[in-house]
Every structure is written in structure tokens, then in C-alpha cells.
Amino acid sequence: MLKISSYNINGVRAAYRKGLMTWIEKTSPDIICFQEFRADIEQVPEELKEQEYHQVYYVAEKKGYSGVAIYSKKEPLSVQEGIGVDWIDREGRVLSLEYENFRLVSVYIPSGSSGDHRQDLKMKFLDDFTAFGKKLSDDVKPTLICGDFNICHEEIDIHNPSKQHNNSGFLPEERKWVTDFLKLGYEDVFRNLHPGEADLYSWWSYRAASKERNKGWRIDYHMASPELANKAVEAHIEKDWDMSDHAPVTILYDLD
């Protein structure tokens, strides 16, 4: 079994103070795809660096901003930073590792909630990421894309959907993008294993006791080629951990 976790930690130093090491030691994922790492490599706590993982970081040029990382118990065959689009790569948003049997991507898609400019950039990102995703799906090696997509795909993925249609993250054009992206040859692995189940969210606002009331959004995904999606046997959103405004999304794959 291969246990893979996708986790937007909203800053590695803050998550470390809130129990990140305890989560790693208790749950022991084989691979962790981190998003919103928000630190340079020299700022990563030493105790975390000393964990028995191969650690690959892709940090943003802007200090304390964005950034992704992948921790893996097995050494990857190769590493690819970015997708070849200058502004996206300066923000450290996409990191790809290749293994013998599959390719793994950690992605942090921009939020558009801060205004029209960022929403426009988000839509540009989605266009470029479509091209990147298609290139991977056309390859013979299966692909798993883990990360914070900052989009709820269906009404079941967001609380009170009738009031959310004008909000970034649930706009019709964003939801259509997810539908179209899946048609490239990917499957929403978590939803495959929890079809029709409501109130399963991976992000909650810090405001208004949203997590305690489970007023959340499912915006963190494992998007996999069918060969990999069909090998997923268990999927959990680890809501009990409070290191971030997101929860880890952890899936077991039977690759034996």
C-alpha cells in the first residue's frame, strides 16, 4: 500500500508550532504533497528536515509566499520545477516528481478571492495548467496531481451552495474548468470513493467558528489517471488535525 497525503499547511513554520511533527509521526504517509509552504529551505525547522524523507522544495521568489514541496520515503527518479510559464513559476506553484510506476504533481492553484486582478490571473493559470495536464495525460506513465485547487467542483463540495455561486472558488467558469480538466483523462479519487456523501470538506474559514460548524469547502484534490484512481482503496479527510485552515487529504493506493 502507498499512503499519499495532500496538505495545504498555510505556512510550514506555523504548522510546525501547531503539531506538524506529531501528525507526520502518527500517520506516517509514504508521500506528502505540501502546498502553501511559505518558507525558504533554510527556514524549515531542523526537526522536520531530519525526518527520513527525500525532500524536494520549490519556493516562490517572494518571501513567505506560496511554495510547494514533496516529502517522499522513496527517492524519485527525476524532478521538474514549474510548468514553463514565467509568472507561475516565480510563485513556486507546481512541482513534479517521477517514480518508476507513476508521476506525482503537487500544485497550489491561486485564489481569486482578493479581487478581480487575482481572479484574472487564476483563470490564466487554469488555462496554462490545462495544457500542462494534457501533456501529462497523453504520456504513457500514469499521473497523480495532488493539491489545493481553490475550486469546489459540485454543489455537494460546498456548504450552502445556493449562496456561493458568485464567490471565487465556486464560479460557474471555475467549476466548468474542473469538469473539462477531468475529461483530459483524470478522476477525482476522493469523490470516487465517497460518491454522493455530503459535508466532506477540506478547508474552513477561520471566521465564525466555521470548522466547528462544518461550514466548509472541498477544494483539495487527488486527480489521477484512471490506472491509479482504480487502485485507490481508502480516502480520508483528516479533519481532526488543526495545523492549518485546511485538512490533509490522505488516500491509500494499492500499487502492489
Q: Which residues are catalytic?
A: 148
Contact 95, 70 (CB under 8 A): yes
State whether residue 139 is helix, strand or coil: coil
Distance between CA 89 and CA 91 in Å, rounded? Answer: 5
In the chain the beta strands, taken as DSSP E runs, fall at: 2-8, 31-35, 54-58, 68-72, 78-81, 94-98, 103-108, 143-148, 187-188, 203-204, 216-217, 220-224, 232-237, 249-253
Q: Measured in whole angstroms, how far is the alpha carbon of residue 146 from the centre of its chain?
A: 4
Tell me which DSSP letter residue 246 carries: B
Distance between CA 118 and CA 133 in Å, rounded? Answer: 22
Distance between CA 35 and CA 146 in Å, rounded? Answer: 9
Distance between CA 5 and CA 34 in Å, rounded? Answer: 8
- Residue 213: phi, psi to the nearest 5? -95, 0
Smallest CA-to-CA distance from 177 within 217, 128, 218 is with 128
